[in-house]
Amino acid sequence: MSQEQAIKIEALNKSFGKGDAFVDVIQDASFTINKGELVALVAPSGAGKTTLLMMLGCVDAPTSGTIWLGEEKVYDNKWLTKETRKIRREKIGFIFQAHYLIPFLNIIDNLRLLPQANKTDDKQSKAKARELLKYFDIAEKEKAMPSQLSGGQNQRVAIARALMNDPEIILADEPTAALDMARSIDVVKMLKKIASEQDVAIIMVTHDERMLKYCDRVMKIENKGIVFDDEHTTKIL
């Protein structure tokens, strides 16, 4: 595991509403996640997991604080660039509860969509997509439509898509929610492997405590603050 920082948060706050409707969701959160780490994010429903994920994904602006993605400071009480979508395109990979592949694109085109937006050479993106499909053992399905694949296969394609832009971090929102136990373990082990082999930081939201032992660290939202629970952390994997 590298000691190079992938995400650094300092004094992050997020609140919604005004007056009687004012709600504090995240208060004074500070943490660092290094490249190569798989970190589980655990909290009860409504505690702010999605809000945190959206802030880290440069979708929602924090109320105050500082965010570094890699060595680049992207937020310092305001976005430091107008093109937050470009940051997402170049630095962040997303995995969702369901695979959310584009249903009208075949598997390889689902993977090539992001490189096309980044104006990557067509041949290069095709080669990279094939390499990833091979890595996830679904190379023979490159021309298939998402509707023709099983849930587990689609989730692997979704993970492959998240890796197409060589991200520094991957934000995974309950990627095992729609899978059975065996497949869930497969996916989390796969994420662990990706984190270490591709040197990428992965934050995975999960409600399933059985998955925590496969993660390097467990991050919890407690009393609106971020705490790390080392009890669940395994050093064996």
Partner 1 sequence: MIHLAKEDIKHSLGKFIVTAMGVGMLLGIVLIMMGVYRGMIVDAEVLLHDLDADLWVVQENTLGPFAESSRVHEDLKDTLKSVPGIDKSEAITFQSIQLPGKNGGKKVRVQVVGYDVYGEINPINPERLVEGRTLGIDHYEIVVTDKTGYKLHDTLKLGRNDYTVVGITHGSVASGGDSLVYLSLKDAQQIQFSYSNKRIQTDKARGILNKDAHLVNTVIATLKPGYDVDQVAQEIEQWHHKSVYTRAQQKIVLTRNVIEKASKQIGLFTAILVGVSTIIIALIIYTMTLEKIKEISIMKLIGLPNRMITQMIVEETLLLGILAFLFGNVFAHLISGKFPKRIVLDLPDAWGLFAVVVVASIFASFIGVKKVISADPSAAIGG
Interacting residues with partner 1 (CB under 8 A): 50, 53-54, 57, 59-60, 85-90, 92-94, 96-97, 100, 102-105, 109, 112-114, 116-117, 122, 145, 161, 165, 173
CB of 86 to partner 1, least distance (A): 7
Distance CA 221, CA 217 (A): 13
Cβ proximity to partner 1, 4 vs 104, nearer residue: 104
CB of 113 to partner 1, least distance (A): 6
Cβ proximity to partner 1, 88 vs 192, nearer residue: 88
Cβ proximity to partner 1, 30 vs 116, nearer residue: 116
Cβ proximity to partner 1, 19 vs 103, nearer residue: 103
Cβ proximity to partner 1, 105 vs 237, nearer residue: 105
Which ranges in 14-143 belong to alpha helices (H)? 49-56, 84-91, 107-117, 122-135
The neighbour count for residue 139, using CB atoms within 10 Å, is 15
CB of 85 to partner 1, least distance (A): 5
Distance CA 53, CA 219 (A): 12
Distance CA 215, CA 189 (A): 9
CB of 69 to partner 1, least distance (A): 13
CB of 54 to partner 1, least distance (A): 5
Distance CA 205, CA 104 (A): 28
Tokens of 226: 């971020």
The neighbour count for residue 235, using CB atoms within 10 Å, is 5
